[in-house]
């Protein structure tokens, strides 16, 4: 079991190291999501959390980590981190960008009020150029996007005041897992 854990952590570390090479600035990442069809969400949402790169890896036990920024009515108000732990059938590593839109002040306040966690019922809309990808915090199956600049929206809508979108940046991950995303926030 220690060997599996070491391999998983090494793979996650390597994924994060490679993800910095994929690293987009926050404005570039926002433009990618806008081009993918979520530009109206940036205009209408009360706020959003933007993660340019989240690295994910797993072999039976897996994890993901990413750093982002939180915006309230277009103004940068603080930093956030996302950590995810999963268990189940999984093998590989991948990187993705993520944005979480907050419909109103209540949803943003809930997110930034300490340690926020998405449970199994929260779902993310995966923006891809190639069909056949879906994700939620209870598990996901992902296929490589045809390109970050030609992605299209697979759906939209808020759930409990929040809407999550992801764009796969690269890698290959097979999984049928159970897990959740935990977020932390620090104000500027």
Evaluate whether 97 touches 125 at the Cβ level (below 8 Å).
no
Least confident of 98-107, 111-120, 124-133, 134-143: 134-143
Mean pLDDT of 126-133: 44
How would you label 23-41 residue by residue, b for 16+ Cβ within 10 Å and e otherwise?
eeeeeebbebbebbbbeeb
Whether residue 102 is predicted with pLDDT greater than 90 in this model: the reply is: yes
User: Mean pLDDT across the chain, nearest whole number?
Assistant: 76
- What is the C-alpha separation between 178 and 92, in angstroms, rounded? 16
Whether residue 178 is predicted with pLDDT greater than 70 in this model: the reply is: yes
- What is the C-alpha separation between 45 and 103, in angstroms, rounded? 5
Q: Which of 89, 36, 80 is nearest to 60 (CA)?
A: 89
- What is the C-alpha separation between 85 and 182, in angstroms, rounded? 9
- C-alpha torsion sign, points 63, 23, 95, 41: positive
pTM, to two decimals:
0.72
pLDDT at site 69: 97
Least confident of 58-67, 92-101, 124-133, 174-183: 124-133
Q: Highest mean pLDDT range out of 45-49, 120-124, 136-140?
A: 45-49
Give the containing element (helix H, strand E) for 152: none
């Amino acid at each position: 079991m220690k060997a599996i854990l070491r391999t998983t952590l090494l793979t996650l570390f390597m994924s994060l190291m490679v993800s910095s090479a994929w690293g987009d600035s926050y404005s570039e990442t926002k433009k990618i999501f806008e081009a993918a069809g979520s530009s109206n969400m940036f205009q209408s949402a009360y706020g959003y959390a933007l993660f340019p790169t989240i690295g994910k890896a797993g072999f039976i036990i897996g994890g993901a980590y990413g750093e982002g920024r939180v915006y309230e009515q277009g103004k940068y108000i603080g930093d956030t981190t996302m950590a995810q732990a999963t268990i189940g059938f999984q093998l590989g590593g991948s990187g993705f960008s993520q944005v979480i839109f907050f419909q109103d002040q209540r949803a943003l306040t809930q997110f930034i009020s300490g340690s926020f966690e998405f449970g199994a019922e929260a779902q993310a809309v995966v923006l891809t150029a190639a069909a056949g990808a879906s994700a939620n915090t209870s598990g996901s199956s992902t296929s490589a996007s045809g390109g970050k600049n030609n992605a299209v929206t697979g759906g939209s809508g808020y759930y409990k005041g929040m809407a999550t979108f992801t764009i796969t940046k690269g890698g290959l991950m097979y999984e049928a897992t159970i897990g959740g995303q935990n977020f932390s926030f620090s104000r500027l």
